[in-house]
Structure 1
Amino acid sequence: MGSLLQILLALFISVIGALYLLGSFRRRRAGEPPLDKGPIPWFGHVLEFRKDTAKFLQRMKEKHGDIFTVQLGGFYFHFITDPLSFGSVVKEARTKLDFTKFAEQLVARVFGYNSMEIEHKVLQASSTKHLMGDGLVVMTQAMMSNLQNLMLHSVGSGDDKQWQETGLFTYSYNIVFRAGYLALFGNESVKSTGTLDKAKEIDRQHSDELFKEFRKYDQLFPNLAYGVLGPSEKMEAERLKRLFWSTLSVQKMRSRDNISGWVSDQQQVRDEQGMQEFMQDRFMFLLLWASQGNTGPAAFWLLLYLMKHPDAMNAVKKEVEEILRETGQEVKRGGPLIDLTRDMLLKTPILDSAVEETLRLTAAPVLTRAVLQDMTINMASGQEYKIRKGDRVAVFPYIAVQVDPEVYPDPYTFKYDRFLTPDGNKKTDFYKGGKKLKYYNMPWGAGTTMCPGRFFATNELKQFLFLMLSYFDFELKNPNEEIPGIDIRRWGFGSMQPTKDIQFRYRLRF
């Protein structure tokens, strides 16, 4: 994530959906005869669909109900919009519904990477080992160390005590991306620099330069995935890809310290499988984009929502201070830097609710599956729909459930305690049509393809916020400025980005 926060399977799911939401389309009811059995009239509105996918799908839902079919990019897509029926997709065996084949095609097109046959298995095993459980303890510590280097290296020096003004999106994305990159791909070697301080300084400079280049690629990415880049943009995309292939190359990684087990394991398996180094280099760029393309934007939305809602900010800040007191840590002049462990981050129900509410409002992946054999979709209503081999089944949770007013009253309003019970525990009881929903918020996907990096991404967000609240004074330049809208070009890609940045100022407290 990064950022409601974004790992490889999440990338596969969200981008595949976006890739196929292209071009001309036709509508038919699910189960209708194939196209060659009779003409199907044009349904039109191509420009509307491309302009705002969510708006179009919302209108189709209101007009046609819980399941409807459109022809996109040469495929029939069956969109399921009833959250009570999501299990028909999420729980279905991969022998019937799968995403890997066309995911591999997309990754080859966008990143120049040719997947292994055991790609899914390797990624899942490595992510379970290093981004969950005991492995997450190590990763959380690495993230903490790098956040401290980027955010707090001048604490006590007298520098940065003056107000600094910048864009909140740029600042949040910059910090979270750089810390996540260093935590995963390692640090400058102390052996090559002579001192730890010098190595940390190089890390700060190098990661900042890399972020600027990453943002250039990130801004090109929607059109790159859609295949609509202009000539100059294509040249720039190729330049950036080659830059990252070089920067993240296997050769250069060998000279770095503290490379995460998640990254090194991936490289080792590919090496053992006989993959050429240039292809491994391309995979490293794919890993970087998948792991750091979402968490930074999510950090922006979280911080902005808290700044716009003082009651939420006060509640989260109080919880942060209580956690520090319980662990005997104090933020004070001349004192040691606070250290946030995985166990500490498990004791923040208010912050957890604020994070989940942020993701509900701003995370919008499309979950897509290829139909591998003729099958039946069973809806919660009792209706059955015949789906043909070669079709696609898609779920867009954002409109189907995340902003449904029946599930979430006043759905577009940020309510930090929406996912808390009256006694302060995690709330999981949400209803549609009087029935409890199992899939009530799906920023990470669901089922076997649920983002394996979700725990690490959530910890990244929480650690960033902990340090901001503990060490900085910060405020919006214009407190009355409205929250910017969502950039609708990025529907389906995971964590959404704002249409514009919003200015804020910050300073170290001491």
Structure 2
Amino acid sequence: MGSLFQILLALFISVIGALYLLGSFRRRRPGEPPLDKGPIPWLGHVLEFRKDTAKFLQRMKEKHGDIFSVQLGGFYFTFITDPLSFGSVVKEARTKLDFTKFAELLVARVFGYHSLENEHKFLQASSTKHLMGDGLVVMTQAMMCNLQNLMLHSVGSGNDKPWQETGLFAYSYNIVFRAGYLALFGNESHKSTGTLEKAKEIDREHSNELFWEFRKYDQLFPNLAYGVLGPSEKMESERLKRVFWSTLSVQKMRSRDNISGWVNEQQQVRADQGMQEFMQDRYMFLLLWASQGNTGPAAFWLLLYLMKHPEAMDSIKNEVERVLRETGQEVKPGGPLIDLTRDMLLKTPILDSAVEETLRLTAAPVLTRAVMQDMTINMANGQEYKIREGDRVAIFPYTAVQVDPEVYPDPFTFKYDRFLTPDGSKKTDFYKGGKKLKYYNMPWGAGTTMCPGRFFATNELKQFVFLMLSYFDLELKNPNEEIPGIDIRRWGFGSMQPTKDIQFRYRLRF
């Protein structure tokens, strides 16, 4: 869920403290935001920020107000925590506040990939072409075909439909990752296997093996980002990178069918620019990681919230059934598999609200800009603050707005219809201090860094849940088990992950 640069921007603050534990504390100049001071400010801030980003930023806000600066490693970050003032950052021109240069540096350090000039422009243009509008119709169909292969390949193979028990996080992440990977990077060619069914079987086996390797990398990622991997972890991370560079290599991609236009175009642009194939292979792993590292965890949270809130589950099931009826489709024994299109997904306002509420509660990116020249930040209350060239400006929407009780009463409670008006349309009116907010929920970022893949990611999530509710009965093994906490090591990494998995049961409905 999210474009490469959007997710890397979310990681930037977390990584930078580990990369640059240098620099001295400077004095505050007139007109600058308050600077937090302490006995060892730069080291103390890095450690506290790394331990619990949300708690650290909340403490700073309570101490200093809606704008403050802290030193994280060798950089000074000015955080803006007033959502009414977010526009002063997200609307500013790149000549003053830029987001690409340090992202490119981070890519090189963490992934060994050296970016093209105008990397973001290429990615943005290709994503707009293939992951929005007419391109999204094609991608939604590809996702549908692969979800059906992974989830429903055994439908009609027998009359016995036993309950299957597994971890909800593992299951959701597994299915969504694999279907997304196959939709983007293509399928096994039936020409090489002899039959289409054999090719589909290989897709199921291969994608499952790849997912568990991806999970190993994913679990290493917080320490990899912080630069604190132990010797054995470093060896494992390098091994995993080589696995993905090989699997996604330009050579192997040439033998696959149905590769998305998005992936094909990304590769072709780099080939046309003269990039060596080994570097193109590395970029393919970045695309996979950036596109598939967040939607699966989000699917877990959404299904969990629905199972914990029967009213929400019933409302969305009714909506799913209505959409199927309107298109003349029905889930029944011996019947054809349903074909869930992009247009059908535009007719699910209740599911849309539940998705947005889930992301409000569990998506926590950091929006960061590099200050390219001395400039002034204009706050909504009329105050002005000067910031220096070479510093950073950042927003953490999760604590600043997404769980603000003034904006969202009872903010930590899942309310599936929170983003619906009484007439059932999308609600966009949320207020702070009596003023309407433009930026009231920011799981995808905002402005020029707003994730161009957000429509595809949302469709992935909705398709998975739509199929689960259409074809399966599902329930928690222990209905009274509490919703697990958020793994605070992953603040700033996009969709949060749970501290533990939750066991659930599912079976085909017919």
1:36-75 CA-partner distances (Å, limit 9, x unpaired): 9999977946543321110110111112110010000110
Moved over 6 A (4+): 2-27, 33-43
Whole-Å Cα distance in 2 between the matches of residues 24 and 170 of structure 1? 44
Q: How far has the Cα of 1:99 moved from its partner?
A: 1.2
Question: RMSD of the alignment, in Å?
Answer: 2.9
Distance 1:213 1:384 in 2: 49
Distance 2:107 2:403 in 1: 30
Residues 51 and 352 (structure 1), Cα distance of their counterparts in 2 relative to 1, 3 Å cut: same
CA shift digits 1:84-132 (9 cap, x unpaired)? 0000000000000011111001111111110000211110110000000
Q: Judging changes above 3 Å, is the alpha-carbon distance between structure 1 residues 320 and 24 closer, same or farther for their aligned structure 2 residues?
A: farther
Would the aligned equivalents of 2:2 and 2:452 in 1 still touch at CA under 8 Å? no
SS in 1 for 2:282: helix
C-alpha separation between the residues in 2 aligned to 1:347 and 1:30?
53
Contact 1:28–1:40 (8 Å) recurs in 2: no
Q: In structure 2, the residue corresponding to 1:274 is in which secondary structure?
A: coil
Question: What's 1:302 paired with?
Answer: 302
Q: Evaluate the alpha carbon distance shift between residue 340 and residue 140 of structure 1 in structure 2; reply closer, same or farther with a 3 A threshold.
A: same
Structure with higher RCO (Cα < 8 A, 6+ apart) = 1
CA distance 1:460–1:9, shift in 2 (3 Å): farther
In 2, Cα distance between equivalents of 1:315 and 1:37: 51
Work out whether residues 112 and 282 of structure 2, in 8 Å CA contact, stay in contact via their aligned partners in 1. Answer: yes
Structure-2 change in CA distance of 1:124 and 1:35 (3 Å): same
Cα 1:80–1:487 change in 2 (3 A) is: same
CA distance in 2: counterparts of 1:176 and 1:294, whole angstroms: 10
* Distance of 2:509 and 2:33 partners within structure 1: 68
Q: Which digits, 9 at most, give the CA deviation of each residue in 1:452-506, with x for residues without a partner?
A: 0000000001000010001011110000000000000000000000000000011
Secondary structure, in 3 states, of the residue corresponding to 1:28?
coil
Where 1:35 maps in the other structure, the secondary structure is coil
The Cα of 1:297 is off from its aligned counterpart by 0.2
Unmatched 5+ residue regions in structure 1? none
Number of matched residues? 510
Task: Tell which deviates more after alignment, 199-208 or 1-10.
Answer: 1-10
Q: Is the CA contact 1:8–1:451 (under 8 Å) kept in the aligned structure 2? A: no
Structure 1 residues 128-172: Cα deviation after superposition (integer angstroms, max 9, x where no partner)? 000000000000000000000000000000277211111000000
Whether contact under 8 Å (1:365, 1:396) holds in the other structure is yes
Shift of the 5–492 alpha-carbon distance from structure 1 to 2, 3 Å rule, reads same
Given that residues 10 and 449 in structure 1 are in contact (C-alpha distance below 8 angstroms), is that contact kept between their aligned partners in structure 2? no
The 10-residue stretch of structure 1 (31-40 or 329-338) with the greater mean CA deviation from structure 2: 31-40
- Structure 2: state its 5+ residue gaps: none
1:235-258 deviation line (CA, Å, top 9, x unaligned): 000000000000000000000000
Residue deviations 1:344-364 (CA, integer Å, cap 9, x gap): 000100000000000000000
* In structure 2, distance between residues paired with 1:6 and 1:186: 24
3-state SS of 1:376 partner: strand
Instruction: Tell me how far 1:11 sits from its aligned partner.
Output: 6.8
* 1:508 Cα deviation after fit: 1.4
Change in 2 beyond 3 A, CA 1:433/1:33:
closer
Are 1:25 and 1:70, in contact at CA under 8 Å, matched by a contact in 2?
Answer: no
Distance 1:21 1:147, change over 3 A: farther
Give the TM-score, by structure 1 length: 0.95
- The verdict on how the C-alpha distance between 1:479 and 1:505 changes in structure 2, with shifts beyond 3 A counting, is same
Shift in alpha-carbon separation, 1:174–1:2, aligned structure 2, 3 A: farther
Between 277-286 and 28-37, report the one with greater CA deviation: 28-37
- Name the TM-score, length of structure 2 as normaliser: 0.95
Q: 1:411 to 1:84 in 2, by over 3 A?
A: same
Three-state SS of the structure 2 residue aligned to 1:37 is coil
Distance 1:294 1:120 in 2: 20
Inter-partner Cα distance in structure 2 for 1:458 and 1:250? 28
Shift in alpha-carbon separation, 1:161–1:19, aligned structure 2, 3 A: farther
Q: Deviations over 1:386-413 (max 9, x none)?
A: 0000000000000000000000000000
Q: Which residue of 2 aligns with 1:139?
A: 139
Contact preservation (8 Å) 2:130, 2:139? yes
Report which stretch shifted further, 178-187 or 35-44.
35-44
The alpha-carbon distance between structure 1 residues 36 and 128, as it changes in their structure 2 partners (threshold 3 A), is: closer
Give the match for residue 394 of structure 2: 394
C-alpha distance in structure 1 between counterparts of 2:398 and 2:19, whole Å: 17
Q: 1:441 to 1:356 in 2, by over 3 A?
A: same
Instruction: For residue 501 of structure 2, give the secondary structure of its aligned residue in structure 1.
Output: coil
